[in-house]
Chains A and B, each alone.
Chain A
Amino acid sequence: MRTLRFLLQKELKQIFRDPGIIRILFIMPMIQLLILPLAADYEIKNINLGVVDQDHSQYSRLLVNKIISSGYFRLKDYSPTFKKGLKAIELDKTDLILEIPAHFERDLVKENEATLFVAVDAINGVKAGLGGAYIQQIIQGYNQDVRMQWIQAPKFDPQPTIDVASSDWYNPNMNYRVFMVPGILVMLVTMIGSSFAANNIVREKEMGTIEQINVSPIKKYQFILGKLIPFWMLAISVMTIGLIIARFVYGIVPVGSYFTIYVFASIYLVAILGLGLLLSTYAQTQQQSMLVSFFVTMIFNLMSGLYTPIESMPVWAQWITKFNPVSYFIEVMRMVMLKGSSLVDIRFQIFAILGFALFFNGWAILNYRKRTG
């Protein structure tokens, strides 16, 4: 154990002597955490609307007004022909075109029926889907208004109607930030933790000091622990600062307890750092270890369910996420912060992440050879 103490002293001194480290480890993530959640908002609102009104009637204008006052759409283009309106979509000025054909009002009155045309830029499928749904809802509402206006109520046959009452739990303000901030924090901590750990052993390899370690009586597990513990402490600090920012800048307070988060995070970090160390034992140069740890972390991050829901992935991809430690942390963060889940609720995830920690670190210790050949 004394050996371990000496190892730790050396590691910590080396880490803090590096001038760039404080900047990278603490300041850059903080900046990102302060700026990025402001950007990370999926919510579909402010859809850019283009209108091609060939009717120019009172009712067509009423319709357009109703659409704009819904708050979902912004009128960005008003063209005389569909062709011109399409140009606006091509140039990304508008997301959606509503074409009101000539004689719209007349047809509705005389023929009892009229048709509107909507063309949607469907590259962003979700935006298109929701945009289309919203405009149809508004048009239907408008339709009801028109009917009410033109027909006396009793002439209506009472029809069975089902009222749909929807309530939103856990995020009544539909605030995306609450969703994204914990996720971004996890991502930052993961990237930093594993990249640093991955790089570290390779650096010693490149500098030659690792030979001196190999020739000494230091045991393998002591060596690995000596690398693991300092980075673990750093990562927890970064996470703590992140949580403080989440609370005081964004007002995000976990519904569950901080304790639960820390318990999980501690084990998670051991797993992630272990992964980094493992990659380190395979790499020959810093370039290699950086490249591999970067790609692995990117895959883990993008496939973690932070940006896109896991349920939407094809089955084989969902299986991959089961082997991705990051997805567990994202899930736990959200569960604890937004729904107040307790240690008992997340016990499955804890077991899983414990498994990862043992697996990665165990493999790293096994793979690290003091003796080659």
Chain B
Amino acid sequence: MQKEKVITAKDLTKRFGDFTAVDKINFDVEKGEIFGFLGANGAGKTTAMRMLCGLLLPTSGLATVAGFDVYKQTEQIKKNIGYMSQKFSLYEDLTITENIRFYAGIYGLSNERIKEKTSLLLKQLHLEGQEKTLVKALPLGWKQKLAFSIAIVHEPAIVFLDEPTGGVDPVARREFWGLIYAASARGITIFVTTHYMDEAEYCNRVSVMVDGRIDALDSPANLMRDHSAASMDEVFLHLARKAVRTGD
């Protein structure tokens, strides 16, 4: 059964002067998948993701997100995606509720929906009673979960997560992935970049970028089998040994 493809990329390339950050990558992401976009720092993951989100103009190649072209239809793309940046960009000087209200509002939710969503989110995150707390007072793990929930407040088709678990302790990371699973079960496609290889095992499929190219694309199980590796860590080391670039 052919599953609907929500992200397609064909020979997608990004050059900065002489430097090729992303080199003719090809991949598809199916609806409802949890797709991991792995690679070392500097491999080109973030650059590729920004092109898909409409934040960066590709140099060449084709890509579509939610059926829309990344060159000409970025505004439609943006209506259909959610995004969570590395910095968890919530407004530190606004309260939890105010942040929810704002983002829900600009994505077009009606006032009643906003109210519903707010109480739902607070309940899900066990933050009832904290409506008036400023985000800056929250511990890192909570900010992360809140940022994710807000990123999907408008139930987008796809949500892009850029290194969402940086600096967070393992327990909080596990809870976080729990939220991701719940979203995926609701039909939201998850596109996540990370350099934590153990998280790769939580994904349906992963791709591994090395020096701007995709060197591997398959389910974690298959990759581990192909590379005779006991963990994704080993798979990665195997592939990365060939890498020339380091550092973002």
- Please tell me whether chains A and B touch each other in their complex, using a CB distance cut-off of 8 A: yes
Nearest-neighbour CB distance to chain A for B187, whole angstroms, equals: 21
Nearest residue, chain A, Cβ from B134? A17
Interface residues of B in 69-108 (CB under 8 A from A): 74-75, 78-79, 81, 83, 85-87, 89-94, 98, 101-103, 105-108
**Contacts A6-B101, A10-B98, A14-B91; A211 near B55 (Cβ below 8 A):** yes
Asked if A13 lies at the interface with its beta carbon under 8 angstroms from chain B, I say yes
Interface residues of B in 86-144 (CB under 8 A from A): 86-87, 89-94, 98, 101-103, 105-108
Asked if A343 lies at the interface with its beta carbon under 8 angstroms from chain B, I say no
Quick one: CB contact mask for A211-231 with B, threshold 8 Å, 1 for yes? Answer: 110111111000000000000
List 21 A-B pairs, Cβ < 8 Å: A3-B105, A6-B105, A9-B101, A9-B102, A9-B105, A10-B102, A13-B98, A208-B85, A208-B87, A208-B89, A209-B89, A211-B55, A211-B83, A211-B85, A211-B87, A215-B55, A216-B107, A217-B79, A218-B106, A371-B57, A373-B56
Asked if B14 lies at the interface with its beta carbon under 8 angstroms from chain A, I say yes
A13 with B78: CB separation less than 8 A: no
Give the residues in chain B near A212, CB-CB below 8 Å: 83, 85, 89, 103
Contact of A373 among B14, B87, B102, B160 (CB under 8 A): B14
Chain A: how many interface residues by the 8 Å CB criterion?
26
Contact of A371 among B54, B93, B105, B107 (CB under 8 A): B54
Q: Which of B75, B87, B91 lies at the interface centre, i.e. has the most chain A CB atoms within 10 A of its CB? A: B91
A215 with B83: CB separation less than 8 A: yes
Asked if A63 lies at the interface with its beta carbon under 8 angstroms from chain B, I say no
Query: In the bound complex, how far is the Cα of B101 from the Cα of A41, in angstroms?
Result: 52
Enumerate chain B interface residues (CB-CB to A < 8 A).
Answer: 14, 53-58, 74-75, 78-79, 81, 83, 85-87, 89-94, 98, 101-103, 105-108, 160
Give the residues in chain B near A10, CB-CB below 8 Å: 91, 94, 98, 102
Query: In the bound complex, how far is the Cα of B94 from the Cα of A7, in angstroms?
Result: 13
A370 with B54: CB separation less than 8 A: yes
Query: In the bound complex, how far is the Cα of B151 from the Cα of A234, in angstroms?
Result: 32
Q: Sorted from nearest, which 9 A-B pairs have the closest CB atoms?
A: A6-B105, A208-B87, A373-B57, A215-B83, A212-B89, A209-B89, A373-B56, A217-B78, A217-B79
**Contacts A14-B94, A17-B93; A217 near B55 (Cβ below 8 A):** no
Give the residues in chain A near B78, CB-CB below 8 Å: 215-217
A371 with B89: CB separation less than 8 A: no
- A2-B105, A209-B90, A211-B87 given. 15 additional CB < 8 A pairs? A3-B105, A3-B106, A6-B102, A7-B106, A14-B91, A17-B94, A211-B83, A211-B85, A217-B75, A217-B108, A219-B75, A370-B55, A371-B54, A373-B56, A373-B58
